[in-house]
Structure 1
Amino acid sequence: MQATSTGAPAIDPSLRRKAVIGSTLGNAFEWFDFTVYGLFAVVIAKLYFPSDNDTNSLLASVASLGVAFFFRPIGGLLFGLYADRAGRKAALSLMVLMMALGTGLIGLAPTYAAIGFAAPLLILLARVIQGFSAGGEFGGSTAMLIEFAPPNLRGFYGSFQMCSQALAVAFAGLSAYILNTNLTKEALESWGWRLPFLFGILIGPVGFYIRRRMTESPEFLAYVAARPSEHRSPLRDVFANHYRALLAGFGLTVAATTSFYVTLIYTPIYAVKQLGLPQGSASLSTFLAAMLIAVLCPFTGWLSDRTGRKGLILLFLLLYGLLSFWMFGHLHAAPSLANLLLAQMVPAVCMGFVWGAFPTAVTEVFPVGVRSTGVSILYNVSVMLFGGLAPFWITLLIKATANPLAPAWYILLCVTISLLAYGVMGRRGRPVDAPQHA
């Protein structure tokens, strides 16, 4: 394989295309499976976590949503180490099968009325499997995308990581909207809600087939060929030599992940349970917001290749934090589909500009030999602490304080952390830099 004038390996366009399709579609399949649980949290709460108090029931359901995030750092660490030793392709292929297994278990699990306490335990087990799989997805698929990218287009290629996540949420929201508007409440709670989860079983083998046809990253193969027989563990190396990148990436991920779980997962739950809006309206709004993000991400990723990533990210993080109080206040004062759209579409614009540059910003700073490990650690620990449990913490805050602006206060806290950590320690980040090797 020849090298380009920048020192990067020359890559056959067909191999690059397969890598982008395999990473993006496989990632979308995984996140469809993972996200659909949140969109049906209200139904799952009723069927698997029954309680005399609706809020307590919902708390149990969103807590089970968060359980997966306690296992994501473990899965991320193990899959990250595996990807940095065995290759991106092998790790990504295994992850998509595990996600299908966890999703299928949710779709087939008997309800509490049928088997009692064993029912919520099955849901928790399924969420653990999903969390373990999702833990390695971001680090592995983003590493694959930017390692196949031309050096001056790493932001554009990396943006497909978040574009595929947004598309997954969009189609999960669309499926929820179709089911909610075309089925009776009895049919939805009886069998309709299971359909997206059963679909998740089918896309597992498809995702595995697509990913097995990918070619291993040329940058990773070059690293392996030059790697000495005895070398430092990626885990030890990333903490010893790349702690600044870990801290900056962790800080940036706090707001990036909070925006996802508050805007696309929690806000529809809040609209239905706290404000009494129809589930179909919440699902439609989520679909439209996610589609807007998916459209924006490639453009903003490309823009970050021209202007640098740091300034773009910090500007729209600040806008997101400042606008959050106005959006939730407006929605709470006059609950309607129009105001729900406003509360999701405005953040979606800010998220589109942050998300487009975000994957490459936290990935390109690590050398190839520790890239998946480093990104998996910072991403999953941040998601566990601030993103995955966001619906639980906000629901708890509303219950304790009766403050309808609790979501906005939570957003402001997370944005402040990101502005400080990434603003101080993050680098400007242009992908014209030569690829790094450990």
Structure 2
Amino acid sequence: MATQETSPALVIEPGARRRAIVSSVIGNGLEWFDFGIFSSFSVIISRLMFPPQSGPAMLMIAFASFGIAFVIRPFGGVLLGMYADRAGRKAALSAIILMMSAGTLLIGLTPTYATIGIAASALIVLARMLQGFSAGGEFASATAMLLEYAPQGQRNLIGSFQACSQALSFALGGTVAYLLLHNLTPASLHGWGWRLPFLFGSLIGPIGYYIRSRVDESPEFAAFIKRKHRAPTDRLSLAGIVRHYPRQLLATLGIVAVGTASSYVGLIYIPLFASGQLGLDPGTAQLGMVAGSLVLLVMCPLTGYLADRYGRRRVMLPAMLLYGVLAYPLLASLVNAPDARSLIRFEVVSAFLMSFFWGPSAAALAEAFPVQIRSTGMAIVYNLGAMCFGGLAPLINTWLTKVTGDRLAPAWYIAASVVLGVIGVLAMTQREPLARQSSQHA
């Protein structure tokens, strides 16, 4: 198995580090805001942009339109990841945020099916594909930039800011959806209200581009480029990465599987399931997403710090196992007593446990691969895992619930993802935590 080359300690100015953290987090936050609000308004968008269908068929169309972006994500991830590993993190991230913003703006401006017919459906699919392509490269390139600016003993803590940006975006998206659903009439909501968050989200693109254009290239990547010019290094092809790094790919894929499944089932699907199948008010259901997201926002930096101090495996593994065990009784409680209290309890408890494997996951993925293939390696596993276990999760769980007649089927889906996550953590390369290193050198 190929070994990773280690880089000497690099001196980084605090101001440069702050700019890099902000620029990395803002694009990732935009990605998750866009995906969060699309899930919140996916049923309305499907009614307005696609041919008329009955209730269950409309829900399937809504989740399919949500999931199409994840089918294209692996292609965007690999191509943009390879670009980031060649042209640099800064160039890739600047292009990505503009593409993402363009897709969001297209959703907000597309006329309805009643106005332009099937062209509306085609434009929504095109916009989702553009979002998916750009989002495919966002997490990997942004995380590479973030971790390459992080101090050696704080990589889990700094990496946890990516999870925080996701949680904040879900909270903002859920809050926006709640406010619109509770303060607009159905006619206003369907007429123009649902477009507002997409138009707002598209404005973040130019702002993010300006911030990213002022950030210096990742110092670790820049140092690699200098070494390459002095002593040329062969870059691995996609097939070479798969051949030389099988353990890293499989381990990180397992971590991505449980992370994305917990996100798209716990934060996105369950509120929609509660409103569509259990009869909860749609606005109230959004409060569940907000509650869970706020718990993640608060907890992820703490779990990142704990992983730096005590090691990732000790932090991630117990929480994964407990999450898999409690998923069934928590969901059963919601199904048997579908009210706001049981939904918020499901989201808060789930999010608390999720934070212990969300917080350290970005650093775990980034450190699995050497700098010259870091963006590409992360893009492969993150987008493949997000497609199979995340983006298609609402569609798969809707189908499972319909075919089996078991409204607790999502709990079994979560349990299956936990098994993959546990295998990934056990296969993960261990590194000595900072506290243990300090005691050994004392």
TM-score where L is the length of structure 2:
0.94
Q: Cα offset for 1:33?
A: 1.8
String of CA shifts for 1:188-224, please: whole Å, max 9, x gaps.
1111001000112211101111111111111100000
The CA distance in 2 between the partners of 1:430 and 1:177, in whole Å, is 44
Q: Cα offset for 1:243?
A: 1.6
8 Å Cα contact 2:315/2:356 also seen in 1: yes
Q: Cα offset for 1:29?
A: 1.9
Letter in 2 for 1:428: Q
Q: Cα offset for 1:319?
A: 1.1
The CA distance in 2 between the partners of 1:330 and 1:156, in whole Å, is 34
String of CA shifts for 1:266-319, please: whole Å, max 9, x gaps.
111101110111111111221121111011111111110011102211111111
8 Å Cα contact 1:286/1:344 also seen in 2: yes
The CA distance in 2 between the partners of 1:152 and 1:52, in whole Å, is 54
**Alignment-derived partner of residue 368 in structure 1:** 371
Matches within 5 A, 1:9-408: 9-227=10-228, 228-229=231-232, 231-233=234-236, 235-408=238-411
8 Å Cα contact 2:309/2:433 also seen in 1: no
The CA distance in 2 between the partners of 1:260 and 1:230, in whole Å, is 38
The CA distance in 2 between the partners of 1:369 and 1:159, in whole Å, is 23
The CA distance in 2 between the partners of 1:356 and 1:174, in whole Å, is 23
8 Å Cα contact 1:101/1:201 also seen in 2: yes
**Alignment-derived partner of residue 425 in structure 2:** 422
Letter in 2 for 1:312: V
The CA distance in 1 between the partners of 2:82 and 2:242, in whole Å, is 13
Q: 1:292 to 1:230 in 2, by over 3 A?
A: closer
Q: Cα offset for 1:262?
A: 0.5
Count of residue correspondences: 428
Q: Cα offset for 1:372?
A: 0.6
The DSSP-based 3-state class of the residue aligned with 1:142 is helix
The CA distance in 2 between the partners of 1:231 and 1:52, in whole Å, is 54
Letter in 1 for 2:430: R
Q: Cα offset for 1:45?
A: 2.5
8 Å Cα contact 1:237/1:370 also seen in 2: no
String of CA shifts for 1:135-166, please: whole Å, max 9, x gaps.
01111111111111110000001111111111
The CA distance in 1 between the partners of 2:405 and 2:50, in whole Å, is 23
Letter in 1 for 2:428: G
The CA distance in 2 between the partners of 1:210 and 1:34, in whole Å, is 22
Letter in 2 for 1:246: L
The CA distance in 2 between the partners of 1:81 and 1:321, in whole Å, is 35
Letter in 2 for 1:356: G
Q: Which runs of 5+ in 1 are unaligned?
A: 1-5
The CA distance in 2 between the partners of 1:84 and 1:317, in whole Å, is 32
**Alignment-derived partner of residue 3 in structure 2:** none
Q: 1:28 to 1:352 in 2, by over 3 A?
A: same
**Aligned-residue identity in percent:** 48
The CA distance in 2 between the partners of 1:87 and 1:370, in whole Å, is 11
Letter in 1 for 2:336: A
